[in-house]
Each structure stands twice: as C-alpha cells, then as structure tokens.
C-alpha cells in the first residue's frame, strides 16, 4: 500500500509527530491557571464533551449506554468538567508545543498553504470557561462543550493571544502567516 | 498523526541530514582557517569580502556577445563594483566560504588541464601532462585562508567552450578569489563531472548567520542558518523537478483528464514543449538570480557561463516558430483548389483534388478561371498550358491540364511525406483518444444500468431516517447526486482550497489527507457558508447515483470510527456534523481518487448558494 493511501486514522498517533493540517489536527491555545500554552491536538481530543458528541440526537442518557464507543484514546474521559480538567490536561502533556518549536516548524514550511496550518483555530480558557473555535472544516467543536461553558464560533484574531505567544511573528516584526507572504 | 506529519517529519529528517553534512563541511573549513574570522554581527546587513583585484574583463563581454549570448549589463556593473551590501530581514553576516566545491574528483583520463594558480592569481593556461594529475588531499584543501572559488575544467570542457578561456584573465575577479600568497591546489575534473556537479547543485553555499538580541530573547537559540540555506536548496530542487516533469504532467493531463481531439495534431505537443521550455527557462533564471544574489557580485564565471548558455539555449528554442507545417500544407491545398493558376502554392493533394473534380466534370468554374488567367498572363504562361486550358472544357482532356501541377507537386513530395510522418507519429494518441471514448461510453452505459436498479436499503434507526428521507429526493432527473464543498475564507484563517474545477467539468482534489463535503442538498452548505462569512468558494459537482449508493453503503459515524468493525481498514467514509442541517461526509484518501475519476459537471457557485 502506497503512502498516499494510508488513511489518517490508520497512522501512528505518536503525540510528538502530530502536526496541524487544518483538516483533522488543530493548534489549540489553552489557558489554565493564568498560563497560556499551545497544544497540537487531533480532532477527537478537541471535543470537551465527548458524550454530547457521541450522542448528537440525544438518544442515550449516560455514557454507559455507548457500549460501542471506545474512549481509550481520550484517556477514558468523556466530559472534561471541573473534576477531570487536571487529569485531561496531564494526559495532553505530550501534545504540548513550545513557541520555539512551533516557530521552527513554521520556518520549515515550504509555502504559505503549509504555513497557514499553524494558525491556531481553537482557544480553550479553563479559567473563564470560554471556548472559541474557528476551525475551517465542519467539525462543530463549539457545540460539544461541558455545561457551564460559553462557546463561540468566530474568527480568532491576534488580540486573543498573549503578546509573547505570537510564534508566527519574526523578530523584525514580519508576519509569517500574513496573506501575501 | 496526519499524512502531512509523515511528510514533514521526513522533510525535517532530510533537512537535518543535509544540515549535518553541511555543518561538517563548514567545520572542516572554518577550523583550519585563520584569516577569515566570523565576528558576531549586530547589524542586519550582509557584508562580504571584496574581490582582490580587478573586474570582469572586456574580452569576456565581447566573447559572450560574439557567441550570441545576452549578458545583462547590470551584472557586469555589479561585478565591477566589487562589493555591495544587501539588506536582509533578520540575518547577520553571510560569508561565502566555498561556493563551488568539486572535491573529491578523480580523473586520470584527461590530459589537458586548466590550471588555476592562486599564487599568481591567474589562469596560467592549458598544460599537456602525460601522467595522471595529482589530486589535492582534503587537508591541503582546507588550509586555505580566504574564501576561494576553484575553477577547474577538463580538456573536453576546454575544447567545448574555447571562448571562455579567453575571458579568464588575471584581472578578472572571478579568478582572483584564491588565497593570496599561498599555493593553491591544482584540480582536475572531467567534462561529465563538471556538468553533473553543476546540475546536481553541488555548489553548496555555506552561511553563518548571527542572531540578534531580540531573537535570542524570544526564541532562545534558534539557528536560522539551519533552515534558510537548505530552504533555498529545497526550493531550487523543487523548481528543477517541476520543470523536469512539467512535460510529462501536460501529457498525463491531456490523456487522462480532458482530451482535446481538435488539438491533437500539433497544438498539444507544441504547447507542452513550449510550457516545458518556459519552465526550464524560468527555473534557470531564478536559479541564476538566486546564485548571483547570494554570491553578491562574486559569482564564478564558469557557473554564470553555464547559466547564460542555458538561458540562450531555451530562449532560442522558444523563439523558434511554431511547427505549423501540417496546417500550412492544408491551407496551400485549399488555396490551389480555389485559386488554380492564380496561386503559386502547389501540393500533391491539391492537384489530386483538381484532377478528381475534372474527372467528375465539376471543374467548369475552375476551367473558366484558368482560361481567364492564361489569356490575361500570356507572357508568364507557357503556350502549351494556354492551349490545354483552352481545350479543357472537354471532359477527360480537362484532366490533362494539370500536368504542370503534377510536376510541381512532385517537387514538394517531401512535404507530404513529412505530414504523413507526423500523422503516424500521433497515431498512438488518436488510439488513446479512441480508448477514452470507449471508456466514456461504457461508463455511461454502466450508469444507466445501475440507475435502473433498486436503491440500497439504509440501516434502520432514528439517526439514519433523516438521511434516508433526504436521499429519496437527492437524485435528480439525470440519476446523479450533487456534492458541495465550502472552501476558502477570510485571509490567513481560510480553509484549504482542496478542490479545483477543470475546464471540462471534472475536479482535481489537491490533498493526500481527508476531504469534507456536504451532500445531497444545499442545507449544510448553506449553514456552513453562513457560519464562515467572507470570501468563501462553493464548489458543486455531481456523481453518479451508483457512486452515492456506494458512499452510503460504506459510510459510518465519526463517533467510534477507529473501533468500528465496519471502518473497512480506516477507508470507510465518515458521517460528520451529524446534528447539523444537511449531510456531510469525510472521505479518506482512497475515495479522493474515485471522486476525481467519477465527478462531473463541477462548477464554482458565484455569489452564494441559491
């Protein structure tokens, strides 16, 4: 089987090798206890309430009814609520990315289309319990958040990031992600 | 991990390997050099060492001009200026350590050696040697104290390019960058090694960048030198590959996507050739500009000569008139049949047509025309031609009047032979076109056959009822189903333009990953396009109903996809965005090829959905 036909889901999901692609993998900015941190997450880890996602028509009352659903790749956590936040983010540690690493990966992109994969499309604020998504494919992450969260689907602007976390800005101020680069 | 992850990791690994190799070379050079320190530069300007003496000689320009090569005058001016500074965004100093490295080359077959002595700072000429030349050791090479360019060539190269020898003078900066006051090694390469070294991009450029304080503070110790030279090298190799395979790609696209029957004779090949040579010309120009800019006016003359020679070659090819011999032949034939004696163009086919018209007694207007020409051009027409045209109004005898055309046509028989040869050469393409037509016919028959079959039963259950209800109205009167793709968006937040529409209504899908499309109706496309306002692009295309049956038969929900036994080895389509209006599928890679194969009537919907 040639490489071209290896399905996305059949690939080895080594957290260290996951790269954003704007289709199935997103760069997520997570704020937790006042600290902003980037993660590169496969799509199924971006659903904060996986039970709602698995139960879109409300046919089931509890996760125990979903006998066919395997959440082992979500560390057996259906809903990332208050009591599971720490555990969930601890499991996401391998998906953490430093600004330096993202900056280096951005430099290695060969064209603007590849660079645009690195624009963060999801923001999770565990302090304010706010979820913002502008993921360009129809995934509807914002619809599946735990109770008590506010979710929105809107363009994520530069102002939404801490000034020292703009890894796409070169030292001379030039923007690697600008449209006409 | 996405497929792009594999590619990027592989690319990163390749870059790292190249970097390690380059670092070893750099280390080998810099550890032994003493006269070329690399001080930390705080400015953003690129500083270069000046050439030691002189400028490109006038004879070089004259030689190039006599050979018909176009040397841009600004290049010579930049060379003569010796040193110049180039603005850079964020990089410190760039030093040209060893732009062209042929080592280690071994050749014992070349006797005549072009020798460059850095001590005398000149080309000392061609020497005939009987013994095999001694190659310099690696240690000897790394003892140079100044950045230098080795100009070395074999006898074959010298004989092939004799004029370049006269352009290499002691005053030329191209040959004066050797180490001063130190004996330089003599290098010998063969023609093949020289060419392969140039064409394989062996002229590795070593850079050393210094980071600014601001950069250090923000990103730590990122070494931009690790990326940029390799990045340039990668771009260069990609351009080469693009130019190399452009011709094949043209053929593939013409054979497998759209088959322009009307343009099969010469236009397709001419356009493909033209496109190929244009690509080559563009690539070599870009490469030369990059090389010239990076060398900052100190480019190696032999390399520049190679570039100029290639540019002149491609320019000459592109200026050649398009091969329209076949069209010209048919035009001349038609002109002969219509104008008769009034034309000077005579072809065998035209004469045969005239004789045939005469035998069928359909050439009365032609007889009157030729009769009028003969009697109005008595001085130019032989008497026997006039006599024949006069009695040509009689049947059978009329055919004899074309004996002069037969004689002329015999002279032009080579043209007919060429046209015939061209037709034979393109016969295989016409065969391919015939096969494609057969395939299209069989595909159409298959569509009609499956269209008559019963719809496949959908799985039962509440979530699927909506899909089944929508499917009842999905197929239109033609038995096809429409899919939609929303792509694009605002600036750098746009989604990928994965589908492009071909001129013949087929689609090209530019991804090796998954593809999300809306299906059956515009409900989901409307919902998602309103969700993402901006410069979105809505692509709609149709697939046969049997294809959509296949999709529905194999699609499974996105939830639990990995553990679902129906995932067909992770190649089944996913049903995504389930509780939103309309229907969406996410196709794994193998489906993308099938979609490209069977989609038709593709359009880009302007101004939003109806």
pLDDT tens per residue across span B97-150: 333 333 333 333 333 333 333 333 333 333 333 344 444 444 334 333 333 333
Q: Do B227 and A108 touch (CB under 8 A)?
A: yes
Q: Write out chain B residues lying below 8 Å of A121, CB-based.
A: 493
Strands B507-509 and B600-605: unpaired
Whether A75 and chain B come into contact, CB under 8 Å, resolves to no
* Distances from the Cα of A69 to the Cα of A47, A59, B196, angstroms: 15, 14, 58
Q: Which residue of A has its CA nearest to B524?
A: A138
Given an 8 Å threshold on Cβ–Cβ distance, is B560 in contact with A5? no
The residue behind tokens 């990315």 is A97
Contacts of A24 in chain B (CB under 8 A): 2, 513-514
Nearest CA in chain A to B536: A136
pLDDT means over runs of 10, chain B (610 residues): 54 60 47 37 35 38 40 36 35 34 35 35 36 41 36 44 48 33 38 57 37 45 56 60 56 48 48 74 80 71 77 76 59 80 76 81 79 80 79 61 60 52 47 45 38 36 48 59 88 86 88 86 85 85 87 84 80 86 88 88 76
Q: List residues bridging with B500 in a β-sheet.
A: B508
Nearest CA in chain B to A138: B577
Q: What is the DSSP string of B81-150?
A: T----EE-SS------S-S----S---SS--EEEEEETTTTEEEEEEE-SSPPPPPPHHHHTT-SS----
CA angle, residues B303, B304, B305, in degrees to nearest 5: 90
- Chain A hits for B518, Cβ within 8 Å: 138
Nearest to B492 among A66, A103, A116 (CB): A116
SS3 content of chain A, % helix, strand, coil (to 5): 35, 20, 50
Work out the average pLDDT over A41-66.
85
| pLDDT level of residue A83 (50, 70, 90 thresholds) | very high
Considering only residues 33 to 62 of chain A, which have any Cβ-Cβ distance to chain B shorter than 8 Å?
A: 53-54, 56-57, 59
Are A138 and B576 a contacting pair at CB < 8 A?
A: yes
The answer to whether the Cβ–Cβ distance between B1 and A99 falls below 8 Å is no
For A153, phi then psi, to 5°, come to -115, 105
Contact between chains at A54 and B224 (C-beta distance less than 8 A): no
- A12 in contact with chain B, both atoms CB, cutoff 8 A: yes
CB spacing of B567 vs A9 below 8 angstroms = yes
Output the DSSP codes for A48-73: SBHHHHH-TT---SSGGG-TT---GG
- According to the model, what pLDDT value does residue B33 have? 34
Closest partner residue to B576 (CB to CB) among A7, A136, A139 is A139
- Chain B nearest-CA distance from A90, in A, is 20
Contact A23 B512 (CB under 8 A): no
A18, A40, A115, A137, best to mutate vs chain B, most B CBs in 10 Å: A137
Say if the Cβ atoms of A59 and B462 lie within 8 Å: yes
Q: Find the residue in B nearest to A11 (Cα).
A: B1
> Does the pTM of the predicted model rise above 0.80?
no
pLDDT in tens, A122-170: 999 999 999 999 999 999 999 999 999 999 999 998 899 998 899 998 8
Which of A69, A108, A136 comes nearest B11 by C-beta?
A: A108
Residues A162, B244: Cα–Cα separation, whole Å = 46
Beta carbons of B2 and A73 less than 8 Å apart:
no
Q: Say how far apart CA A48 and CA A145 lie, in whole Å.
A: 5
Tokens standing for residue B537? 């692009």
Facing residues of B539 across strands?
A: B485, B604
Interface test with B, best of A5, A155, A171, A173 (most B CBs within 10 A): A171
CB contact under 8 A, B2 and A23: yes
In terms of C-beta density within 10 A (0-12 exposed, 13-18 middle, 19 or more buried), how is residue B262 classed? exposed
Tell if the CB–CB gap between A179 and B524 is shorter than 8 Å: no
Distance from CA of A159 to the nearest CA of B (A): 14
Which one of A5, A68, A179 has the shortest CB-CB distance to B590?
A: A5
Chain B residue numbers with beta carbons less than 8 Å from the beta carbon of A41 are none
pLDDT exceeds cutoff 80 at A116: yes
Q: Which A positions 159-178 lie with beta carbon below 8 A of chain B? A: 164, 170-172, 174, 177-178
User: Complex ipTM, two decimals?
Assistant: 0.90
As to burial, measured by CB atoms within 10 angstroms (0-12 exposed, 13-18 middle, 19+ buried), residue B538 is buried
In percent, the amount of chain A with pLDDT more than 90 equals 50
Which residues pair with residue B207 across a beta bridge?
none
Separation of alpha carbons B288 and B305, rounded Å:
10
Is the preceding peptide bond at B104 cis, omega within 30 degrees of 0? yes
Residues of B in contact with A27 (CB under 8 A): none
Residue for token pair 């011999």 = B325
Do residues A56 and B578 make contact, with C-beta atoms less than 8 angstroms apart?
Answer: yes
Q: Quick check: A172 and B12 CB within 8 A?
A: no
User: Helix, strand or coil for residue B580?
Assistant: coil
Residue A158, chain B, CB below 8 Å: the answer is no
List of chain B residues whose C-beta atoms are within 8 Å of the C-beta of residue A70: 560, 562-563
CA distance B144 to B118: 10
Q: How far is CA B125 from CA B151, B164, B182, B436, B558, in A?
A: 12, 12, 19, 62, 74
Alpha-carbon span B444 to B421, nearest angstrom: 35
Which residues from A are below 8 Å from B219, CB to CB?
Answer: 99-100, 103, 171
**Which residue in A has a C-alpha nearest to residue B215's C-alpha?**
A171
Task: Give which of A2, A3, A6, A7 to mutate to test B binding, by max B Cβ within 10 Å.
Answer: A7
- When scoring A23, A67, A94 by the number of chain B Cβ atoms within 10 A, the one with the most, hence best to mutate, is A23
Contacts of A23 in chain B (CB under 8 A): 2, 496, 511, 513-514, 516
Q: Do B1 and A108 touch (CB under 8 A)?
A: no
B463 chain-A contacts, CB cut-off 8 A: 56-57, 59
Q: How many angstroms away from the CA of B494 is the closest CA of chain A?
A: 7
Residue B559 has its nearest CB partner, among A17, A23, A69, at: A69
* Residue A154 neighbours by CB distance under 10 Å: 11
Distance from CA of B309 to the nearest CA of A (A): 30
Residues whose CB falls within 8 Å of the CB of residue B322, separated by 6 or more in sequence, listed in order: B266, B270
């Amino acid at each position: 089987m040639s490489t071209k036909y290896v399905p996305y889901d059949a690939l080895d999901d080594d957290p260290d090798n996951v790269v954003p692609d704007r289709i199935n993998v997103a760069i997520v900015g997570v704020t937790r206890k006042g600290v902003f941190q980037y993660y590169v997450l496969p799509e199924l880890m971006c659903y904060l309430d996986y039970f709602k996602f698995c139960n879109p028509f409300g046919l089931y009352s509890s996760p125990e009814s979903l006998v066919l659903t395997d959440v082992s790749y979500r560390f057996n956590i259906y809903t990332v609520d208050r009591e599971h936040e720490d555990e969930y983010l601890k499991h996401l540690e391998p998906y953490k990315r430093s600004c330096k690493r993202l900056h280096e990966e951005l430099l290695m992109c060969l064209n603007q289309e590849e660079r645009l994969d690195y624009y963060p499309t999801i923001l999770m604020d565990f302090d304010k319990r706010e979820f913002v998504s502008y993921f360009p494919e129809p995934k509807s992450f914002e619809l599946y958040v735990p109770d008590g969260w506010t979710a929105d689907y809107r363009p994520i602007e530069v102002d939404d990031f801490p000034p020292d976390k703009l890894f796409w800005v070169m030292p001379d101020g030039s923007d690697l992600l600008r449209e006409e680069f | 991990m996405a497929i792009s992850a594999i590619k990027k990791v592989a690319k990163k690994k390749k870059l790292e390997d190249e970097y390690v190799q380059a670092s070893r070379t750099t280390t080998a050079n810099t550890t032994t050099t003493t006269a070329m320190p690399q001080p930390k530069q705080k400015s953003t300007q690129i500083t270069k060492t000046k050439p030691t003496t002189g400028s490109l000689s006038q004879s070089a320009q004259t030689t190039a001009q006599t050979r018909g090569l176009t040397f841009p005058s600004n290049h010579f001016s930049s060379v003569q200026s010796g040193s110049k500074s180039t603005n850079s965004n964020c990089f410190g100093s760039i030093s040209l350590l060893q732009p062209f490295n042929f080592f280690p080359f071994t050749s014992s077959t070349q006797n005549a050696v072009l020798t460059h002595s850095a001590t005398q700072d000149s080309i000392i000429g061609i020497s005939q040697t009987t013994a095999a030349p001694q190659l310099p050791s690696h240690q000897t090479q790394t003892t140079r104290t100044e950045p230098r360019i080795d100009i070395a060539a074999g006898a074959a190269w010298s004989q092939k390019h004799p004029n370049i020898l006269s352009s290499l003078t002691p005053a030329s900066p191209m040959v004066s960058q050797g180490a001063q006051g130190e004996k330089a090694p003599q290098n010998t390469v063969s023609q093949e090694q020289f060419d392969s070294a140039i064409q394989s991009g062996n002229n590795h450029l070593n850079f050393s960048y210094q980071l600014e304080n601001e950069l250090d503070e923000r990103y730590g110790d990122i070494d931009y030198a690790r990326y940029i030279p390799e990045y340039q090298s990668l771009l260069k190799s990609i351009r080469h590959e693009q130019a190399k395979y452009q011709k094949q790609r043209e053929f593939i696209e013409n054979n497998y996507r759209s088959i322009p029957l009307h343009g099969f004779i010469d236009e397709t090949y001419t356009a493909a050739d033209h496109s190929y040579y244009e690509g080559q010309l563009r690539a070599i120009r870009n490469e030369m500009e990059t090389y010239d800019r990076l060398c900052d006016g100190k480019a190696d003359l032999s390399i520049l000569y190679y570039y100029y020679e290639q540019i002149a070659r491609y320019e000459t090819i592109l200026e050649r008139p398009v091969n329209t011999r076949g069209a010209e032949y048919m035009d001349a034939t038609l002109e002969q049949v219509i104008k008769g004696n009034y034309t000077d163009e005579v072809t065998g086919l035209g004469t045969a047509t005239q004789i045939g018209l005469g035998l069928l007694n359909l050439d009365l207007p032609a007889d009157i025309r030729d009769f009028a020409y003969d009697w109005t051009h008595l001085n130019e027409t032989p008497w026997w031609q006039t006599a024949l045209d006069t009695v040509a109004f009689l049947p059978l005898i009329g055919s004899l009047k074309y004996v002069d055309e037969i004689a002329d046509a015999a002279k032009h028989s080579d043209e007919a032979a060429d046209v015939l040869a061209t037709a034979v050469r393109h016969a295989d393409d016409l065969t391919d076109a015939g096969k494609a037509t057969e395939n299209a016919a069989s595909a159409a028959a298959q569509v009609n056959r499956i269209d008559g079959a019963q719809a496949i039963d959908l799985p039962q259950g509440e979530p699927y009822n909506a899909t089944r209800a929508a499917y009842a109205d999905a197929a239109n009167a033609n038995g096809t189903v429409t899919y939609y793709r929303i792509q694009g968006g605002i600036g750098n937040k746009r989604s990928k333009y994965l589908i492009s529409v071909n001129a013949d209504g087929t689609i090209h899908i530019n991804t090796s990953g998954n593809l999300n499309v809306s299906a059956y109706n515009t409900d989901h496309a409307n919902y998602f396009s309103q969700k993402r306002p901006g410069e979105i692009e809505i692509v709609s295309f149709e697939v046969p109903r049997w294809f959509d049956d296949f999709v529905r038969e194999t699609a499974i929900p996105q939830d639990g996809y990995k553990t679902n036994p129906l995932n067909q080895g992770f190649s089944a389509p996913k049903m995504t965005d389930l509780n939103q209006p309309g229907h969406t599928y996410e196709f794994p890679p193998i489906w993308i090829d099938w979609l490209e194969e069977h989609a038709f009537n593709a359009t880009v919907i302007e101004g939003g959905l109806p």
